[in-house]
Amino acid sequence: MRSISGLCCSAVFSAAFVISSSAIAQNRVETTDLAHHPMEAAFDSGGQLDLRIRSGEIRVVGSDHDKLIVRAGGDQGSSSTDIHARFESFGGVGKLWVGGGPSNNVTITVELPRNSNPSVRVPFGDVELNGISGSKDVELHAGQLTIDVGNPADYYRVQASVTSGAIEAQPFGEEHGGMFRSFDKSGHGKYKLLAHVGAGQLTLK
């Protein structure tokens, strides 16, 4: 039979666990009108971010703030009232979904901590990543993808490919055009870069 002191210790431990769990509970932020109500959510530097964003002109930008900021604009996007976004995070992992709105002339801007590790998926459009120092995993079905890689020595693995189109990667000394073009390089850095475009242009600068 467990002693009263043992039961008390278990109860205290259980209560502490509940408090601790609630302190790191999942954070959720949502908006149904992103153009008029930009989203802002706390997110610490160094985290993993999974971004699933609708087609359009997509800008993912590193900042010096420990938070995520999402805005919608563009000729039609700025007047739309039905571009919706949802962000969920747990610890150092976050996921953002952006959808809805008009079919074209929409710009989505995502600001995230400069030292982040984003995974980005966009169906169609013009996608650009700037000022991000972590690992990057980006796929675009069709369009133009441009990634500011920073110092090429920061990467231990770089894989870039297009199914149909062109690759320009001056920092890595690579340039390819045509069908099923790719390159794969290894280094001594601490980050990984994966970039793929189905049909279009991939630029690493």
- 145-200 pLDDT, tens per residue? 999 999 999 999 999 999 999 999 999 999 999 999 999 999 999 999 999 999 99
Q: What is the pLDDT of residue 104?
A: 92
Of residues 27 and 115, which shows the higher confidence score? 115
Q: Which residue has the tokens 């010096």?
A: 64
Each residue's pLDDT tens digit, 56-82: 999 999 999 999 999 999 998 899 999
Q: What is the pLDDT of residue 91?
A: 86
Of residues 162 and 21, which shows the higher confidence score? 162
The pTM for the full model equals 0.86
What does DSSP say about strands 155-169 and 174-186: parallel, antiparallel, or unpaired?
antiparallel
**Is residue 17 over pLDDT 80?**
no
* Mean pLDDT value across residues 115-143: 98
* Mean pLDDT value across residues 105-131: 98
